[in-house]
Structures are given as structure tokens and as C-alpha cells.
Amino acid sequence: MSYTMRDVAKEAGVSVATVSRIINGKGEASPETIAKVKKVIERLNYKPNMLAKSLSERKSNLIALLIPTLNNPFFPELVREIETEANKNGYQIYLCNSDDQRSKVEYYLDSMVNHYVSGAIINSLHVDEKDLSLLEERGIRTITIDRANFEHSYSAITVDHKAGAQDAVTYLIQDNQCKNIVFISGPKGEKSAIDRLLGYKLSLKQLESPIQTKIVYGDFGMESGYQLIRKLLKDGETFDGIFSSNDAMAIGAIRACYEFGIQIPEQVKIVGYDNINMTSYLHPRLSTVDQCKTEVGALAIKELMNLFNNGNEKPNHYELKPKLIIRESS
């Protein structure tokens, strides 16, 4: 049986308003009354109606998390990290998957307001500063992570993808003596893909080595990595190193190499980017760049908690440094 606040009040012999004040820690009541009400709540196993609470207070224990896709394995793993930290702090995640479509972003922005979310973690190319300002004006504290294509005055976490890519390419050239490298980039115009491309080019420029290079553009999906490398091999291209803008495309590239009888790492060395969980279980295990999803999740929630608890807290900008993880594929 599901009990209501009215049932608790009747059983404790107090008013509904008194029960409400005690549950929410507001107003005064004698220690005896508080103890009596809490005992009834425990005996009836009463659970407050959070929807009703959010409607009355125009605030909930929800944090909206807007992500671009669930197809890339990195994002479900990032969601889990953020959700774990949110739950530790008494908050639930309202997951908003935009599929990288502005129309879905607009739908979810409206939905965040309608659900009275307390905060919003934004990872999308299709959100601008006006969107953030609208949320903030409605009392929804915001923080962007990684993919924002613009500078703004609200809280933000970025990862130095340029440095991460530079480390990976330098490793392939200096440590592995690769002379002919294929770079599988993400989509043109996508900020993190652009940053990784810049890091790739910066490494080549600084090393000043006689390296043959080729850039191909994928969509961050396994199939695109597979098809791009398969086409190069079918066309008779040769190379001894592959750096992929994410792990999913690197996994596709590994499959294409095996289909053409190319041994990894003996003939081609491969480094991915993201450090998704499955990379530790591939054969060979994939070298990759860890882009700090655990740290991002913890920091995003910590920043929101600071903003929630301190109304005058100024927004902060953080930049994290990714780490090269060397495994058998290189």
C-alpha cells in the first residue's frame, strides 16, 4: 500500500502542513513532534512525492545531461560516470540524447525547464550561449563539457585534445619509427575532431621528420573506420601507422586490416582515442588516449554542487590533460 502525507499526518495526530515542514526541514516543531512524525514515516515507509514537491517548489533533484549520441561507446560510459557522482550527492540524471540534431536539442531545452531541473550538463555542438542564458535565467545552473564550439561566461570543462593527439602521433613517429601514417579524423567542423587534427599537424611540424601522411574523415562510428581503411587497402595504399580520432573508428580500422591479412602491430601500429572499456579486451589490446571521463564526471557534479549551494559562486573553467595509454596494438 502506498501512503500519502495526509496518512502520515492523521497517524501522527498533526496537520499536513506540519508533516510537510518537518520533511522539508522548514519551520519550527517541538522535538517530540518531530520524533513522532519521523517514527510514523519510518513505520509506514512513506516516500515523499518528488514530482509534487518539484511542482510546488519549482525545483527538483534532477540534473539534465544533454549528450550528442548513444552510438559512440564513449558517451554511455561518460553518462555512467556522471550518474554515479550525481547519485552520491542525492541527485538523479535526466538523460537527453540529441542525436546531434538541433530540433531535439530545442525539445530537451524546453523539457529541462518544464521538469524544473536544478542543473544542466551540456555536451552538444548545437547549443549556443543564448540557450545557456535562457536556462540560467530560469534558475537552472549550467556547465558545458568538451564539445561547446564557443566561449561563454558559464562553467565549462574542456579536455586538451590537441595535446592528446600530439602525444599519440609523436609516440608513433619517435617511439615506433612510423614513416607513413594515416590519420582517421572525426567529422569536419566538429570541435574535438578539429582539435585532434591540429594536434596531429602540430606533431608533424615540430618533429620535422620525412613522414608520409594521409587524412581521411569519418563520423566517429566503427563502420566509418572500417570502410575508410578498407578502401585505402583496396586501392593499394600502404602505411605503417594509424592514429584514429576515437576508439570506435580504430576498432573498425583493426577489422579492415585483419581482412587484408595485415598483422597488428607487426605491420601496422594503431592508436585510438577515448579509452573506452572494450579497448582493454580487444586482441591486441588497443593503445589509446584517455580523455579523463572519470575526472570529467566527478568535476561536473562537484561544480554544480558548488553552484547550487553557493548562490554567489562564480562559474569556473577547467581544462584537463589527456593521457596516452600504450598497449599491444602499437
For the stretch 263-285, pLDDT in tens is 999 999 999 999 999 999 999 99
130 falls in which pLDDT band (50, 70, 90)? very high
For the residues 207-218, what does the mean pLDDT come to?
Answer: 88
3-state per-residue secondary structure call for 197-259: HHHHHHHHHHHCCCCEEEEEECCCCHHHHHHHHHHHHHCCCCCCEEEECCHHHHHHHHHHHHH
Same domain, residue pair 146 and 168: no
For residue range 133-181, list pLDDT tens digits in order: 999 999 999 999 986 556 788 999 999 999 999 999 999 999 999 999 9
- Does residue 326 form part of some domain? no
Q: What is the mean pLDDT of the chain?
A: 90
Same domain, residue pair 96 and 135: yes
For residue range 131-145, list pLDDT tens digits in order: 999 999 999 999 999
pLDDT at 57: 54
pLDDT at 193: 92
Burial of 123 (0-12, 13-18, 19+ CB in 10 A): buried
Same domain, residue pair 225 and 301: no
127 falls in which pLDDT band (50, 70, 90)? very high
Same domain, residue pair 171 and 285: yes
Q: For the chain, what is the domain count? A: 3
Phi, psi of 18 (to 5 degrees): -65, -45
Same domain, residue pair 41 and 64: no
For the residues 190-197, what does the mean pLDDT come to?
Answer: 91
For the residues 277-294, what does the mean pLDDT come to?
Answer: 95
- What letters, b where the CB count within 10 A reaches 16 and e where it falls short, cover 207-218? eeeebebeebbb
Same domain, residue pair 265 and 307: no
For the residues 85-97, what does the mean pLDDT come to?
Answer: 94
CATH code of the domain covering residue 267:
3.40.50.2300
- Does residue 308 form part of some domain? yes
Closest CA to 247 of 291, 303, 312: 291
26 falls in which pLDDT band (50, 70, 90)? low
Full residue range of the structural domain in which residue 28 is found: 5-48
pTM check: above 0.85: no
What CA–CA distance (Å, rounded) separates 121 from 145? 7
- Give the DSSP letter of residue 72: S
Query: Which one has a higher pLDDT value, 14 or 66?
Result: 66
Query: Which one has a higher pLDDT value, 8 or 282?
Result: 282
What CA–CA distance (Å, rounded) separates 146 from 158? 4
Same domain, residue pair 130 and 243: no
pLDDT at 147: 65
Residue 273 near residue 324, CB atoms below 8 Å: no
